[in-house]
């Protein structure tokens, strides 16, 4: 189920194929949590291998550890906290009736110098238990190290 949900988000992020005449393409996707339940969680800030940040070592009520992909307006809120234990207040898309918006902007430059720009927007809503995204509202550092 989780793999299917990640595949759905990747598909929505707008995979654009380059034709033989195109020489350069830049694609940028922004994921935002538009709705979900407000929560406060603690965990460790880490860089996401695909870009952006994630909160790891987040314990649920049963004690099981999980992670959240962090969505934020400004990376300055968390970039200085990589490796730190923090408390984050925000909206969790996987709690309650979540809604995630994905906006993708692409710019392609052809061999003859022509440029084309496209923008696409997609939305996922409902029971998003397999999409652990957390829209960050407030960050508070608890410790300079993580377990």
Structural domain including 28 reads 2-14+22-143
What would the pLDDT profile of 2-56 be if each residue is shown by its tens digit? 443 444 445 444 444 444 455 788 888 888 888 888 999 999 999 988 788 999 9
> CA 60: distance to chain centroid?
20
Whether the model pTM is above 0.85: no
How many domains does the chain divide into?
1
SS (H, E, C) the chain: CHHHHHHHHHHHCCCCCCCCCEEEEEEEEEEEEEECEEEEEEEEEEECCCCCEEEEEEECCCCCEEEEEEECCCHHHCHHHECCEEEEEEEECCCCCEEEEEEEEEEEEECCCCEEEEEEEEEEEECCCCCCEEEEEEEEEEECCCC
What would the pLDDT profile of 100-110 be if each residue is shown by its tens digit? 898 999 988 88
């Amino acid at each position: 189920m989780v793999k299917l949900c990640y595949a759905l988000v990747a598909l929505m992020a707008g995979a654009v194929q380059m034709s033989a005449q195109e020489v350069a393409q830049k694609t940028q996707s922004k994921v935002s949590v538009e709705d979900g339940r407000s929560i406060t969680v603690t965990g460790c800030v880490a860089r996401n291998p695909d870009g952006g940040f994630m909160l790891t070592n987040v314990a649920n009520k049963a004690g099981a550890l999980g992670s959240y992909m962090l969505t934020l307006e400004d990376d300055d809120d968390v970039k200085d906290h990589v490796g730190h234990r923090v408390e984050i207040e925000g909206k969790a898309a996987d709690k309650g009736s979540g809604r995630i918006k994905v906006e993708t902007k692409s710019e392609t430059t052809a061999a003859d110098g022509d440029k084309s720009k496209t923008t696409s927007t997609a939305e996922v809503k409902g029971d998003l238990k397999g999409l652990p995204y957390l829209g960050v509202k407030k960050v508070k550092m608890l410790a300079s190290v993580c377990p």
